[in-house]
Amino acid sequence: MDVFSADAYLFDIDGTLVNTRDAIHYFSFRNALKKIWGFDATIDGVPVHGNTDIGILRAVCRLQGISNADFDQHLPEIVQMMSDEVAARKSEIRAEICPSIPEFLAELKRRGKLIGVVTGNFERIGWSKLEACGLRPCFAFGSFSDRTERRADIFRNGLAEVARRLGPSATTFVVGDTPSDIHAAKEVGVPIISVATGVYPHEELQGLQPDFCVACCADLLNSTTTNIN
């Protein structure tokens, strides 16, 4: 399997494309929950890396005694409030592009690949991060968590869009930085390129047997061998 053999490449955002060095996304969720239910939210004890915005919000609300029905009823309002706040503060976003991402994206574009994002971010928040660091023009489309809580379903929606654009026989690689990306890719049956540019070390990701596992995308540019580990 060659790392450039697929027709399409779908990238996670946080930890894969960029690492944000601000708390704008975090405070948008705190402020939304404060306005709707009146409590000061924290993410203590809630898994964040590899989770989705809906998954994080639901877990926090559950700890506060909010029922799933109440949460689901207010979800569209939460999405709107969070997205509006992040968009309004886009100039304050400090998104650090992960190593060799611009070069890897440029090489994929040069080879005529379809490039999209598959992320647990809400749509406008994800695009705001990529706009803030100048990466937005690299991506033709995205699959987000606005209406899809599970990462595997976000991947499925991304794959469906690839099939719509390129046909049902098109091949795809997902690029992600967390165990959740690996598990979701295996669930939907798509090859996964794991990059250790987030919080998870190479050894931990490699132990989950992704199709490729690299320290960063520079390793992908330097090799086309099978199962880089």
Beta bridge partners of 198: none
Same domain, residue pair 162 and 51: no
The pLDDT score that the predictor gives to residue 44 is: 80
Domains held by the chain: number? 2
The pLDDT score that the predictor gives to residue 80 is: 97
The pLDDT score that the predictor gives to residue 34 is: 95
Last residue of some domain: 91, 123, 150?
A: 91
Same domain, residue pair 100 and 145: yes
The pLDDT score that the predictor gives to residue 223 is: 67
Token code pair at residue 34? 């404060």
pLDDT averaged over 10-residue windows placed end to end, the chain, 229 residues: 95 97 94 95 84 95 95 97 96 96 97 98 97 97 95 98 98 98 98 97 97 96 61
The pLDDT score that the predictor gives to residue 225 is: 46
The pLDDT score that the predictor gives to residue 92 is: 96
CA torsion sign, 182 to 159 to 112 to 134?
Answer: negative
The answer to the question of residue 176 being in a domain is yes
Domain holding 161: CATH number? 3.40.50.1000
CA 229, distance to chain mean position in Å, is: 22
Last residue of some domain: 71, 91, 111?
A: 91
Kind plus residue range of the DSSP H or E element containing 10: strand 8-11
Closest residue by Cα to residue 128 from 88, 97, 79: 88
> Hey, is 98 helix, strand or coil?
coil
Same domain, residue pair 14 and 115: yes
- For 133, the domain range is 8-20+95-221
DSSP state of 106: H
Same domain, residue pair 63 and 99: no
The pLDDT score that the predictor gives to residue 43 is: 82
Give the CA angle between residues 108, 86, 53 to the nearest 5°: 75
The pLDDT score that the predictor gives to residue 1 is: 80
The pLDDT score that the predictor gives to residue 47 is: 84
The pLDDT score that the predictor gives to residue 224 is: 52
The pLDDT score that the predictor gives to residue 182 is: 98
Same domain, residue pair 217 and 166: yes
> With contact defined as beta carbons under 8 Å apart, do 174 and 154 qualify?
no
The pLDDT score that the predictor gives to residue 226 is: 43
Assign residue 135 a region (left: φ > 0; alpha: ψ between -120 and 50; beta: otherwise). alpha
CA 228, distance to chain mean position in Å, is: 22
Q: How far is Cα 129 from Cα 96, in angstroms, rounded to an integer? A: 10
